[in-house]
Structure 1
Amino acid sequence: MLESTHPLADESASRHLDTLARATLARFTGTLSPAALLLAWQDWQLHLAASPGKQIELLQLAVAQAQALGRFQAQRLAAGPQRTEVPTPVQDRRFAAPGWREWPFSLWHQAFLLTEQWWDAATHGVAGVSPHHEKLVAFWARQWLDMGSPGNQLATNPVALAHTRDEHGLNLLRGAQRWLQDLQRLASHSPPAGTEAYRPGHEVAATPGRVVLRNRVMELIQYAPATATVHAEPVLLVPAWIMKYYILDLSAHHSLVRHLVDQGHTVFCLSWKNPGEAERDLGMDDYLQHGFFEALDAVNRIVPRTQVHAAGYCLGGTLLAIAAAAMARDGDDRLATTTFFAAQTDFSEPGELGLFIDDSQVSLLEAQMAETGYLDSRQMAGAFQMLRSYDLLWSRLVNSYLLGEPESMNDLMAWNADATRMPARMHAQYLRRLFLDDDLSEGRYPVDGRPVSLGSLQRPTFMVGTETDHVAPWRSVHKLHFLSPAEITFVLTSGGHNAGIVNPPAAGSHRHYRLLTRPAGGTYLAPDEWQAAAALHEGSWWPAWQQWLAAHSGPRRKPPRLGLPGTTDLGPAPGHYVMER
């Protein structure tokens, strides 16, 4: 029999065709998998259809809600022109303005909130639906409902109507102008208005220092000392490469780097390269070897015969955990302590970000990245916007386009708009090995061909979780207590994934945190037990961490010289990589 010469007879050609098809689909769907959503809805619909008891509960809930809305409407009409306050069936911060208590806006927003309640009940608690599908259906039902919220429409928003009346429509004119400007910026891939006031090296990322190492993956910055003597052990900061490093070095009053330097610490920080198509084949091993380990080698040369305090943020913390486990396995004792800021080591409960991560979704991302060589930063930004759609999307659109109010800009918002890309190979490995397969917490993640275990981590550890984190939920971050026998000082602070970490000491900040240390080999406390036992403190957690670092440091000494011995000057901080767009 003659062998087929058809190109599809070759398996690689067949797979390439499939990749092209998925990449085409991804362009039309914004890299959201229609198959994943369809499977979730079918799972929910079929199991709801087979649950007559649940259907009766939902019918009873609808009747009770209709009765509650009817009573509220009757009471509201009976109050008449005296405008007597009538308690609303549902309270929500989105409708806190006084205008929402007036008729008919009170009726509209209450009907909307009761509908939200009904769909929340309908999409949860249906026996037989997989947990991932349940979360997916509930999430998308909430997104579709939000689009029809009375607060997002001019005709049904009393605040927007009042502004239009008082300003004779000038607010809408300003909003239309801003909408056109935003369209132009979107088309030209320009950053939002106001970000030009926060330039790296000037208003932000301005702590004095030098670039002491540069390779294909990162630049290493060493910061100039601000005190006559410094703590013996240097601090190496490992930010995530899904973000620019200077979230740790924002404006002077918001800079964790400057805070550490002012307290007498020798500080180094990695500034990751913003990858493009040329870096498509960079993998997790490259970030580990050419990122963390080459940086650690450089720190050891500048500050010899001294251990290092290593601190990782978000994905940088996950990378640090992998590195520390490999070092413990191999008998490498160069780390004095480890610190993890909002960093997951167990991905079995990744939070709402897991809504966008399943096999179907990842296959679309991989196909799209196979064409571009990287994950575009706008895709990550879009996912985060949907996770907090009211705060990051709808409220901004209403304020800007309906109320015509100028959008305020601060250093954290400007940093958030200065997004980065991610190499195709690394991101696929990260999603599959960590998110989908959870290899790290289950002892399967390989370094140099051999698996590492988080159970080998023995160094004193400081961890920070944030109360409203949608990226790394604090209960997920807390899981290292279960995985490692090390002494762990855990902090749970107010704020989210970014604002909770950018937490400088300041009068009247209204911040708080809980702190509790579990001794090495101590009894495991589950998250809720830990929260009940941890002492509550007002203010910023930064001083508590700095004091912890000082307690684990040796005697103070003269600051080390800036730069690697025998190397050429690579220029001042913040370096070149942070400027890449």
Structure 2
Amino acid sequence: MSDTGDRSRKKPTDEPSLDDYLIKDPSSFALNLARMVEQAGKAAAAWIEPREKGLKSDLLAEPLTDMVRTLSKLSEYWLSDPARAVEAQTLLFSNYLAIWTNSIRRMTGEPTEDIAAPDPKDKRFQDEDWSKNAFFDFLKQVYLVTAKWGLDLVEKAEGLDDHTRRKAAFYVRQLVNAASPTNFVLTNPELFKETVTSNGMNLVNGMRMLTEDIIAGQGDLRLRQADHTHFRLGENVATTPGKVVARNDLAEIIQYAPATDKVFKQPLLICPPWINKFYILDLSPERSFIRWLVGQGHTVFVISWINPDARHAHKDWEAYIREGIQFALDTIERRTGEKKINAAGYCVGGTLLAAALALMAKEGDNRVKSATFFTTQVDFEHAGDLKVFVDEEQISALEEAMFRDGYLDGTKMLSAFNMLRSSDLIWPYVVNNYMKGKSPLPFDLLYWNADATRMSAANHSYYLRNCYLENRLSRGKMMLARHRISLADINIPVYSLAAKEDHIAPALSVFVGSQCFGGDVTYVLAGSGHIAGVINPPEKQKYQYWTGGKAEGNLSDWLDNAEEHPGSWWLHWQDWIEAQSAKKVSPRHIRDNDSDVLGDAPGSYVMIRI
């Protein structure tokens, strides 16, 4: 087996003292273990109680069944040929034998070389005892060898269709990440030492936090990724001054107060995703995109979607377009007198905006004069690992549960997104919270990430089937309001932003989708991922972005010829939007006696939690 990192020579003189692993106060340790067991019982009770009362139904059966079904297909390939199976097993055991031999040589004083080493970017094995202590070094190398072997089984399996291979790789990665020795007290030197030093108090605190998080999830685990007590909507996040100027059963429309002597004549409407909440664009003031937009002279309107419940079960995409986007356009026209506006959509909010623009083109509604899409997919052929959850069997099972309740519980979607990066978004917090017993740090972005929303049954079913499963939007086959819509009918200027490391809307997927529009498209690639690539204030001077004109040919060729720029894409977009509409007018102040005003931003819908 090839190395996974730089080889390092190990000598027995590196061995640490065992004193760090010896319990100093057995009575205190035993008492804390008893307290931990007591807290674990409370956690179990918090999980069981809502299920006994019929308040919670699990959707675990189908995902587990799908995982077993998928990995069974993988096993069939390797077990169908005894020679092939023996070859795979021999490769694994030969690496185990090499690791064991090195361990024996190390104990006798000989220098050795690692059979496997972690990637330098892997933060899990940073404690020095992963290298200095022979036992933990052995565990580390066995784990790394086994992990690579398992992923290679998927890569080398023949006869798997692309969807099955993608699912198999995804599920193997989940198992690999879950089985890491860094996730367990007895196999992680840092956790072991923490437990000994605190006489097990870390485990008591961890079980208490686990109980609190299950209670917060009303029977499901709501893994805390940030200190939620530090943030308050309207006080230190979502603080850009503005007013709610319209409201219906599905959306509030927020108009933000001007901050410049002149404003652009054409207002800007932002359509955020209904998965999570709009204030990803209005985080802490120094990171708020909305505040920055206002400071550049834009009259900004934002749709704040309702957190739906059973009453909204039948709100489908047409409802979200009519009662969301077009309701906002009507509000803007009434408020400003403008019939020409710029529109921007983020993630699935951009997908909805694209579908709305195609429908409006069919219906002769030409109020939107330019469109900006942030990490938005309109073609789902290369949609990434989220497609793992999308096939007929899984969608049908999900629809059965959704139409029974009227919505998809937000924790289910949050869990799916976290699983896409489980090594970053799940296991580090499991270890920190429930084993080290430490509260996570305050971080506005992760606070927002945990503020999940439900999804109405009709909306989510339509989205999964028409976009992920059948890819109807990009193929010109999507039906809305009795119209067969086509993205080619969107002839306005388009700014399409992708993020290079995006795991939700991959850069390739956004690139291919950008070729579907009928007008002039400016494709820009930002550094970092789905969130950090978008929320990147110029003052931070972080990351970079690439420009290269239209999205033509293939992405690798486009990137080879693109120009790299340091810092944020925000200023580049500002130049682009000014080229579409440079004319300015007097600012649109929101007066105290304004009869449209229903309350202060960020409004009431954003406060509804699951």
TM-score under structure 2 length normalisation? 0.84
Structure 1 pair 134–241 and aligned structure 2 pair: CA distance change class (3 A): same
Amino acid at match of 1:151: T
Residue 479 (structure 1) shift: 1.2
| Match of residue 513, structure 1, among 545, 554, 576 | 545
- Which residue does the alignment assign to 1:361? 394
Amino acid at match of 1:550: E
- Which residue does the alignment assign to 2:162? 131
1:62 aligns with 2:92: yes
- Which residue does the alignment assign to 1:229? 262
- Which residue does the alignment assign to 2:553? 525
What secondary structure is seen at the aligned counterpart in 1 of 2:314?
coil
1:57-456 alignment to 2 at 5 Å?
A: 58-59=88-89, 61-62=91-92, 65-66=95-96, 68-70=98-100, 72-73=102-103, 76-77=106-107, 86-87=113-114, 89-92=116-119, 93=122, 94-102=124-132, 103-187=134-218, 192=224, 194-456=227-489
Residue 310 (structure 1) shift: 0.6
Residue 202 (structure 1) shift: 1.4
Deviations 1:21-55, CA, capped at 9 Å, x for gaps: xxx9x945526345533432343233334457754
Percent of residue pairs identical: 36
Aligned residues, how many?
Answer: 549
Supply the distance in 2 between the matched residues of 1:566 and 1:506 (Cα, whole angstroms): 35
Residue 188 (structure 1) shift: 7.3
**Ranges in structure 1 where 5+ consecutive residues have no aligned partner:** 1-23
What secondary structure is seen at the aligned counterpart in 2 of 1:349?
coil
Q: Is the 8 A contact 1:229 1:558 kept in 2?
A: yes
1:40 aligns with 2:93: no
What secondary structure is seen at the aligned counterpart in 2 of 1:517?
coil
Supply the distance in 2 between the matched residues of 1:116 and 1:398 (Cα, whole angstroms): 20
Amino acid at match of 1:89: A
| Match of residue 472, structure 1, among 497, 501, 505 | 505
The answer to which of 257-266 and 545-554 deviates more is 545-554
Supply the distance in 2 between the matched residues of 1:487 and 1:208 (Cα, whole angstroms): 34
**Ranges in structure 2 where 5+ consecutive residues have no aligned partner:** 1-53
Residue 529 (structure 1) shift: 1.5
Q: Is the 8 A contact 2:383 2:509 kept in 1?
A: yes
Q: Is the 8 A contact 2:542 2:568 kept in 1?
A: no
Residue 432 (structure 1) shift: 1.0
- Which residue does the alignment assign to 2:562? 534
Residue 206 (structure 1) shift: 1.2
Cα RMSD of the aligned pairs, angstroms, is: 2.7
- Which residue does the alignment assign to 2:572? 544
- Which residue does the alignment assign to 1:9? none
Structure 1 pair 565–126 and aligned structure 2 pair: CA distance change class (3 A): farther
Amino acid at match of 1:548: W
Q: Is the 8 A contact 1:54 1:126 kept in 2?
A: no
Q: Is the 8 A contact 1:282 1:426 kept in 2?
A: yes
Q: Is the 8 A contact 2:373 2:496 kept in 1?
A: yes
TM-score under structure 1 length normalisation? 0.88
Amino acid at match of 1:516: G
Q: Is the 8 A contact 1:219 1:271 kept in 2?
A: yes
| Match of residue 521, structure 2, among 465, 483, 488 | 488
Residue 220 (structure 1) shift: 0.6
Supply the distance in 2 between the matched residues of 1:128 and 1:231 (Cα, whole angstroms): 57
Q: Is the 8 A contact 2:343 2:368 kept in 1?
A: yes
Amino acid at match of 1:269: V
The answer to which of 494-503 and 181-190 deviates more is 181-190
Residue 189 (structure 1) shift: 7.8
What secondary structure is seen at the aligned counterpart in 1 of 2:547?
strand
What secondary structure is seen at the aligned counterpart in 2 of 1:174?
helix
Structure 1 pair 510–100 and aligned structure 2 pair: CA distance change class (3 A): farther
Supply the distance in 1 between the matched residues of 2:304 and 2:323 (Cα, whole angstroms): 12
- Which residue does the alignment assign to 1:18? none
Deviations 1:150-207, CA, capped at 9 Å, x for gaps: 1111111011123234444443343344334334434478975732332221111111
Residue 407 (structure 1) shift: 0.8
What secondary structure is seen at the aligned counterpart in 2 of 1:483?
coil
Structure 1 pair 249–29 and aligned structure 2 pair: CA distance change class (3 A): closer
Amino acid at match of 1:114: V
Amino acid at match of 1:140: Y
Supply the distance in 1 between the matched residues of 2:168 and 2:57 (Cα, whole angstroms): 23
What secondary structure is seen at the aligned counterpart in 1 of 2:243?
strand
Residue 72 (structure 1) shift: 4.5
Q: Is the 8 A contact 2:233 2:602 kept in 1?
A: yes
